[in-house]
Amino acid sequence: MPHILIVEDEAAIADTLIFALQGEGFTTTWLSLGRAALEHQRATPADLIILDIGLPDISGFETCKQLRRFSEVPVMFLSARDGEIDRVVGLEIGADDYVVKPFSPREVAARVKAILKRMTPRAAPEVAPVLFVIDPERVQISYRSQPLSLTRHEFRLLQCLLEQPERVFSREQLLDALGVVADVGYERNIDSHVKSLRAKLRLVAAQAEPIQTHRGLGYSYSPSHA
């Protein structure tokens, strides 16, 4: 779990923060001096620092300035100062949040979670694999990186389906794509071409059904079934 460094010279305040943060599953370290916090962060980096402004040795503002010379760790200021200028200064020198005393420990814990969530790199979206590659110049289509042995009509038929995924093509439209005149009874030849295509695709992926039948309508290419 993320580790939180609490830099606060009042034990009672530190205790309430420790209790609230550990209740959310965080681990914590408590220090009361700014210089000690800087040394700690160099030696054992925390995931977030809760930093009081009114510290006995150097101020929280100065601690943050020095911290930013070597670390981009998220910082949340705690302060009894509620003036706008103090908030602006705190954020301008590199703080991620500014909480005014008195505060709700549960709210501080929630703010800590929100900051850490923002800082967590998002996972790169998964890139869908390229299942079909069409090479029109070579009149070649590859399926799952394997070239298919296709007739001229099978190539044009599959190309037509692949170029518009999920669209349902009637037999007449597929005949047009093949450049074949739709003579009486010839439409059913599309079924034979589709049957042959499916057989060749199953040689590559036996369980896949990229060409879907729509009874009474025609055929479509479905990427989710490929």
DSSP 187-198: GGHHHHHHHHHH
Q: For residues 9-25, give the mean pLDDT.
A: 94
What is the pLDDT, as a whole number, of residue 169?
A: 92
Q: Is 134 exposed, middle or buried (0-12, 13-18, 19+ CB in 10 A)?
A: middle
Exposed e or buried b for every residue in 154-184, given b needs 16+ CB within 10 A?
bbbbbbbbbeeeeeebebeebbebbeeeeee
> Is residue 72's pLDDT more than 70?
yes
| Amino acid identity at 37 | A
The mean pLDDT of 204-226, rounded to a whole number, is 91
Who has greater pLDDT, 127 or 85?
85
Measure the CA dihedral 196/198/203/207, to 10°.
Answer: -160
Asked if residue 128 has pLDDT above 80, the reply is no
pLDDT higher than 80, residue 195: yes
1.10.10.10, 3.40.50.12780, 3.90.1170.40, 3.90.226.10: which CATH number matches 132-225?
1.10.10.10
State the pLDDT at residue 15.
Answer: 95
Q: How far apart are CA 143 and CA 200, in angstroms?
A: 10
* Superfamily classification of domain 3-119: Response regulator (3.40.50.2300)
pLDDT at residue 190 in the model: 87
Binned at pLDDT 50, 70 and 90, residue 86 comes out as confident
Residue 127 above 70 pLDDT? Answer: no
In the predicted structure, residue 131 carries a pLDDT above the cut 60: yes
Residue 83's pLDDT is 76
pTM for the full predicted model: 0.55
Between CA 211 and CA 226 the distance in angstroms is 8
What residues are paired with 48 via a beta bridge?
A: 4
3-state secondary structure of 215: coil
Residue ranges in the chain assigned as alpha helix (H): 11-23, 34-43, 60-67, 84-92, 105-119, 152-163, 171-178, 189-202
The pLDDT assigned to 123 comes to: 57
All structural domains of the chain with their residue ranges: 3-119, 132-225
Question: CA 32, CA 161: separation in Å to the nearest integer?
Answer: 69
Share of the chain above pLDDT 70, in %: 93
Same CATH topology for 3-119 and 132-225: the answer is no
Q: How many angstroms separate the CA atoms of 86 and 149, rounded?
A: 73
Give mean pLDDT, residues 33-53.
95
- Band of residue 177 on the pLDDT scale cut at 50, 70, 90: confident
**133-165 tens-digit pLDDT:** 999 888 999 999 999 999 989 999 999 999 999
Q: Can you give the pLDDT at residue 21? A: 95
> How far apart, in Å, are the Cα atoms of 125 and each of 116, 128, 148, 226?
20, 9, 30, 20
Long-range contacts of 120-129 (CB under 8 A, 24+ apart): 128/223
The pLDDT confidence band at residue 50, using thresholds 50, 70 and 90, is very high
Q: What is the mean pLDDT of the chain?
A: 89
